[in-house]
Structure 1
């Protein structure tokens, strides 16, 4: 399908972008007069907050020129060129066109965008931020002539007209409005998390029509964790075991700035969010996002009792690894980084004891990161010294299932075992085309 997601493409990140009605005078085409540099710079910051580069810049590609493949339940799509090139990008977009695409999911030529592009989140972004973003993309980004690639979605799922009805059912128009009774920091955090950060796009479960089950804290499913493209995006509510219930405000702020803390390390798409977005945010915005997330009541979890650390049972298993297949694998491949006590060497090497991702009911992320490893966290230009390697070529499905079951049971984690069939399924889906 030509001009797939023309003008703005799809965005599925993981972990933490942006933008209800364009101003009446927003009809200035790109290049008409010199842009206010302060506005362009502000737009650049907002684009970082939205992590636009992560989705719209392909590996080894030019900034914002598109081409990155993304998997959806309907098939593979390719994000589009959002540079100000007039032929292949969004150079012909007025500010009103730009706002409509971002916040209503309708491109300049009138075709509907697939909701893989998280315009239901961007609908919350206010007019001032739309104006700044438009200034940045029109005057702060180099134009790149690169044609958009057709999607792999087959007929009839590639038809666009049903999306009008999808929008009627699920799109809530209107920029975010401050909630009465909440302070400035809470409202700023809510605005960023729900809108620009589009955290719900990854961390909120979706319904049968691919709609987010909730768009803010008024829905109980909001940010309770969700399976997406072979990863389980973590629970961001106050749930004690698999959520943020044991994280202090400082823990959360540290994670958003560096991708690691005493509880966990970023992996999968969240690595890109840390690298391209949250580490560059102001301390005030990080604090606001943390204040909002820490206010969310506990939802989800695996029903287990509140986690407390207990090393004894696992210590006995590791003393006699021949008695446990998972312990044998752990001793050979995992123990040197994650420790006999399961506490790792945080923040450089993630703990496994009490790690929210280990305690999650869905083990997809553990399987995926064990098979495929994860990309480097790059903080202030310095790559992390000990990224998680992949073991797909070293361990078979049963060995991975055994070691993950061992880890999920160890140190009082009390999480369900992992089956070899689960590993085989994720191996097939994530290794395809490699």
Structure 2
């Protein structure tokens, strides 16, 4: 072999190695981007089991027809999505149709994921196929009884309620607004929880053009908050910085996360870039007020509540509050935010639907874990400490205190939710 030919062979080998290195770098970057997008989409929240195995599914989710269970989305070839092509993956994600042609229940937020761009779908596919460890775990069938468990009617559901097509930037809106809209409407699927659903279990609106979009809705014994500009129960008094702080840490001067929002903070929003968080905040602050109770604009006034707390024997709710609540939330109702949530003017307190207040009082809430550190003062459970009437009394006191002006809570409402969540009554 002459010297010239040897040099040519070496040059070719070097070029091939360089091409291979670039391909590997591109592949790694795509997987890394997919990992970030999976956090933006909070995929792990629904596909994480109680033994903390990510993406293996098995999480129980209640629907009006019965319980369904999330599926294994690891790349296991037998029980997961290991045999999915990118086209199969995209169809499942954006159209709710599995590789075998089976329609997915719309508890999977594919009406939102329909807006995800081709590039982001490609990155997600790369991550789930090459960045997630395969785990063999068979999927669990739903508890929905025949004939309601038949899935063929979902073909017609999709024809009516699924709007295909990736998000397209709105003219006249800035870059941050469009990025925020893409994240909220698409991967973030905020409307899946925060928008009321119709008789067909469909979201009544999929973007800001609908009057009820993000006006709040009951979800699995909680009430997902109003995210519009309503002054009392929405984000009307929040700045963009307030929203950003809440999404990054789960708490701000106005409120603290609880229920399923705790999981969203823990697994999704705290991991998002500051730029994306700012875009979401910017988009949400563009919403006008909608979905509120129509009550007078809230203004803090502690006078009447001070009188009640000074003589708690005259008010059953005040007696419970002074014994169990005041040391954290304060006599002035302002708590010690953001460590301990305020009750005066808290949008969740002013909401006409008391579902979340009852649930968090009965059952407490999971720990917020920010940067690996659990929050120091999680809301404890009072299900085995207070009876239904006591909880109704204290929540009525809170909803009426400090000029909150929200409707009272009945013992029957507490009893009903206690039964729904399987908590025994206090003895």
TM-score, normalisation: structure 1: 0.92
CA contact (8 A) 1:315 1:340 kept: yes
Cross-structure match for 2:248: 257
Residues 110 and 432 (structure 1), Cα distance of their counterparts in 2 relative to 1, 3 Å cut: farther
Q: How far, CA to CA, are the matches of 1:327 and 1:401 in structure 2?
A: 12
Cross-structure match for 1:71: 62
Shift of 1:433: 10
Q: How far, CA to CA, are the matches of 2:117 and 2:239 in structure 1?
A: 30
Match of 2:391 among 389, 400, 408: 400
Q: How far, CA to CA, are the matches of 1:432 and 1:321 in structure 2?
A: 28
Q: How far, CA to CA, are the matches of 1:128 and 1:358 in structure 2?
A: 41
Bigger mean CA offset, 327-336 vs 68-77: 68-77
Match of 2:344 among 320, 329, 353: 353
Match of 1:217 among 208, 229, 248: 208
Match of 2:192 among 198, 201, 206: 201
Match of 2:121 among 119, 123, 130: 130
Deviations 1:230-258 (A, max 9, x none): 00000000000000000011111100000
Gaps of 5+ in 2: 1-22
- Asked if 1:89 corresponds to 2:71, the answer is no
Cross-structure match for 1:269: 260
Cross-structure match for 2:360: 369
Match of 1:344 among 331, 335, 346: 335
Cross-structure match for 2:5: none
Over the residues paired in the alignment, what is the CA RMSD in angstroms? 1.2
Q: How far, CA to CA, are the matches of 1:433 and 1:93 in structure 2?
A: 45
Residues 232 and 384 (structure 1), Cα distance of their counterparts in 2 relative to 1, 3 Å cut: same
Q: How far, CA to CA, are the matches of 1:297 and 1:142 in structure 2?
A: 44
- Asked if 1:171 corresponds to 2:162, the answer is yes
Cross-structure match for 1:247: 238
Cross-structure match for 1:312: 303
Shift of 1:300: 1.1
Greater relative contact order structure (CA < 8 Å, 6+ sep): 1
Deviations 1:349-384 (A, max 9, x none): 000000000000100000000000000000000000
Cross-structure match for 1:423: 414
Gaps of 5+ in 1: 1-32
Q: How far, CA to CA, are the matches of 1:382 and 1:319 in structure 2?
A: 38
CA contact (8 A) 1:302 1:415 kept: no
Bigger mean CA offset, 424-433 vs 317-326: 424-433
Match of 1:413 among 404, 407, 411: 404
Q: How far, CA to CA, are the matches of 2:141 and 2:163 in structure 1?
A: 29
- Asked if 1:386 corresponds to 2:377, the answer is yes
Q: How far, CA to CA, are the matches of 2:139 and 2:152 in structure 1?
A: 21
Cross-structure match for 1:17: none
Shift of 1:59: 1.5
Cross-structure match for 1:187: 178
Matches within 5 A, 1:26-65: 36-65=27-56
CA contact (8 A) 2:217 2:223 kept: yes
Shift of 1:150: 1.0
Matches within 5 A, 1:274-353: 274-353=265-344
Cross-structure match for 2:12: none
Q: Residue 393 of structure 2 aligns to a residue in which SS?
A: helix
Shift of 1:432: 6.0
Shift of 1:61: 3.6
- Asked if 1:158 corresponds to 2:142, the answer is no
Q: Residue 223 of structure 2 aligns to a residue in which SS?
A: strand
Q: How far, CA to CA, are the matches of 2:184 and 2:67 in structure 1?
A: 27
- Asked if 1:232 corresponds to 2:226, the answer is no
Runs of 4+ in 1 over 4 A off after TM superposition: none
Q: Residue 218 of structure 2 aligns to a residue in which SS?
A: strand
Q: How far, CA to CA, are the matches of 2:133 and 2:284 in structure 1?
A: 35
Bigger mean CA offset, 305-314 vs 66-75: 66-75
Deviations 1:284-319 (A, max 9, x none): 000000000000111011111110000000000000
Cross-structure match for 2:19: none
Structure ID, larger Rg:
2
Cross-structure match for 2:103: 112
Higher share of residues assigned helix: 2
Count matched residues.
Answer: 402
Q: Residue 36 of structure 1 aligns to a residue in which SS?
A: helix
Q: How far, CA to CA, are the matches of 1:376 and 1:401 in structure 2?
A: 25
Q: Residue 232 of structure 1 aligns to a residue in which SS?
A: strand
Shift of 1:53: 0.8
